[in-house]
Amino acid sequence: MKFSDDELVARTLSGDYRAIARFITRIENNDTKAAALAASMRRACGRAHVVGITGSPGAGKSTLVDSMIRAYRAAGKSVAVIAVDPSSPFTGGAILGDRIRMNLAAEDPGVFIRSMATRGSLGGLARATLESVHVLDSAGFDIVLVETVGVGQAEVDIVRTADTCVVVLVPGMGDSVQIIKAGLMEIADIFVINKADREGALHLEKDLYSLLALEEFVPGQWKPKILRTVATSGEGVVEAVVSTQEHLQWLETSPQGASRRLAVVTQTLVSLIAHRALDEKLSGREELLNRLAQECVSRKRTSLEAVAEFFKKNGH
């Protein structure tokens, strides 16, 4: 089914699932008209609580997210999930494990679930994710969960644009050095030690407290929480959900929360500006880019010279 642009906006604002799905597909396909339409929807914008969830592959994020959905639903909140999934064109983005979730969503009108795949590049995923969050926010969801697959810089950048960041860890996979390396200490509002019934959970918890002890917290600042869950049994999941709500409370009522929000928004804007600046720069200049690339391959230029030339031709 096709929607006219007006219909698409009207139906999305009323929470129509197929319209929302279609809207997000258009955003994913880099449809600039859809981006403009998304920008035009102001109703209730900024109303959703955006919760980012990241952690190593294998930490049980998907299962945790499924349990969190149930906990939010039990508290009467509607939930949309964007699973940021840098999948390969090779599979077309069809990843195992999503079927369970799709069933969850199919059975409950208060749940919307969507995978967001990368098509190559550089900020494209960040932009598509942010615009989709905006659409889901406008559609009236109380909670938007943004879940990433990996813990790379791009994923950290995406999760960082959320109101509340949950970092999922698991005993025995990497140690605290890895946490630091992945830059997770800086972004975590809540640490969840999942699979906490496994050996090493206490050790990991102790490590986290030691790492936090090295940081200085001024009064009024949010001090990251450390929680233990067993997502498969649901143990600790309600506490995790309550912690996200406490964090939102802090964001909305304290001056420190307000400045945290400002930092997050600035990061979001820079990320969106970056993507658009690149689009502008490349638009209509594919031939020049291709010629310069050829010259690099044949060693006539270095890549740095080629970039200098690209900007010179642009009149910059």
Scan residues 265-294 and list those touching a copy of itself (CB under 8 A).
265-266, 268-274, 276-278, 280-282, 289-290, 292-294
Q: With contacts defined by CB under 8 A, how many residues of the chain interact with a copy of itself?
A: 84
The rounded distance, in Å, linking the Cα atoms of 155 and 55 is 10
Of 21 and 273, CB closest to a copy of itself: 273
CB of 238 to a copy of itself, least distance (A): 28
CB of 165 to a copy of itself, least distance (A): 14
Which of 21, 74, 307, 313 binds a copy of itself (CB under 8 A)? It is 307
Of 45 and 100, CB closest to a copy of itself: 45
Give yes or no for residue 222 binding a copy of itself (CB under 8 A). Answer: no
Give yes or no for residue 174 binding a copy of itself (CB under 8 A). Answer: yes
User: Are 58 and 173 in contact, with CB atoms under 8 Å apart?
Assistant: yes
Give yes or no for residue 177 binding a copy of itself (CB under 8 A). Answer: yes
Give yes or no for residue 258 binding a copy of itself (CB under 8 A). Answer: yes
Q: Quick one: which segment of 105-113, 129-137, 223-231, 239-247 binds a copy of itself (CB under 8 A)?
A: 129-137
Sheet containing strand 225-228, strands side by side: 111-117, 79-85, 143-148, 49-55, 164-169, 190-193, 225-228
Give yes or no for residue 154 binding a copy of itself (CB under 8 A). Answer: yes
Q: Which of residues 89-118 bind a copy of itself (CB under 8 A)?
A: 89-91, 95-97, 118
User: Are 69 and 104 in contact, with CB atoms under 8 Å apart?
Assistant: yes
Give yes or no for residue 208 binding a copy of itself (CB under 8 A). Answer: no
Q: Quick one: which segment of 66-74, 180-188, 189-197, 231-239 binds a copy of itself (CB under 8 A)?
A: 180-188
Give yes or no for residue 164 binding a copy of itself (CB under 8 A). Answer: no
Pairing of strands 49-55, 143-148: parallel
Which of 1, 4, 6, 42 binds a copy of itself (CB under 8 A)? It is 42
Give yes or no for residue 200 binding a copy of itself (CB under 8 A). Answer: no
CB of 264 to a copy of itself, least distance (A): 9
Nearest of 134, 111, 145 to residue 43 by alpha carbon? 134
Of 150 and 234, CB closest to a copy of itself: 150
Give yes or no for residue 218 binding a copy of itself (CB under 8 A). Answer: no
Of 70 and 301, CB closest to a copy of itself: 301
Of 24 and 38, CB closest to a copy of itself: 38
